[in-house]
Amino acid sequence: MAKQKGFLKIRGSIGDLNFYKTKLGYMVREKGGVDRNLIMSDPRFQRTRENMQEFKNAGIAGKTLRNAFNGITRNSKDSLLVSRMTKFMYSVLKEDHVNARGERQVVNGDLGILKGFDFNANAPWLTTVLFKPKATIDRVTGVVEVELPAYVPIDSVIAPSGATHYRILTAASAIDFVNNESKTVSYYTDYLAYDEVETVADILENNLEANSTDYLMVTIGIEFYQEVNGSYYSLKNGSFNSVTILDLDVV
């Protein structure tokens, strides 16, 4: 892989060269590689086929999780979320000690690896919010609570320049990684002033179905706004917003 130079940047193919754009700039590489039909049939590529299938399984599971929380991450995610989540899901899948290589599944792996996963790598929760929320998941009743301690916003929240207000949001989801389905509920606080006035301890509640047999997860996030004449405008298209997986309850 080489980087293109000069003022004329090319995309597409010319002869045996592929020209394309990445986050690192305009790149070029030579065409080549093994024929796909050979990879999919030759015994020598058995290990390759196994890896391909497991990356596919991880990718599908990652999409299911992203879809589950899309409502609160729509304005709080980075451009590499898909690849980052697939990588995490692959780590989960590798902890499957039931199925053979090439057949391992996320549902048999260690989903606890996902705790603390940030949907926006540019604004990790732990470097954006300094107070510590606590989650309680009651599978029997379906009640998911997130307890917020009292805190002083200007001391405990690292807000971008220009922010006058923010909102805390939570979402709880029952996720079926077998059928790739989910049921999610979310909660948003009011617009809160970013100032030196200490908040009151609060509990944010989401209610899922009682006695669910799915994987239960709860996320927490923060969004920043600037108030102008009574209207609230999201800052920097949400690039400073943060959402993380706070806790989960595995079946």
The predicted structure's pLDDT at residue 7: 44
The predicted structure's pLDDT at residue 189: 96
pLDDT above 60 (res 94): yes
Residue limits of CATH 2.60.40 in the chain: 125-249
125-249 domain in CATH 1.10.10? no
Q: 64 falls in which pLDDT band (50, 70, 90)? A: very high
Do residues 56 and 102 lie in contact, with contact meaning Cβ atoms separated by under 8 Å?
Answer: no
Do residues 241 and 158 lie in contact, with contact meaning Cβ atoms separated by under 8 Å?
Answer: no
**Residue 224, phi then psi, degrees to nearest 5:** -110, 145
Two tokens at 90?
A: 């692959």
- pTM of the model as a whole: 0.83
The model's pLDDT over 167-220, given as tens digits with 9 standing for 90+, comes to 999 999 999 999 999 999 999 999 999 999 999 999 999 999 999 999 999 999
The model's pLDDT over 97-150, given as tens digits with 9 standing for 90+, comes to 999 998 999 999 999 999 999 999 999 999 999 999 999 999 999 999 999 999
Query: Percent of the chain at pLDDT above 90?
Result: 74
The predicted structure's pLDDT at residue 51: 82
Classify 220 as helix, strand or coil.
strand
Query: How does DSSP assign 180-198, residue by residue?
Result: TEEEEEEEEPPPEE-SSSP
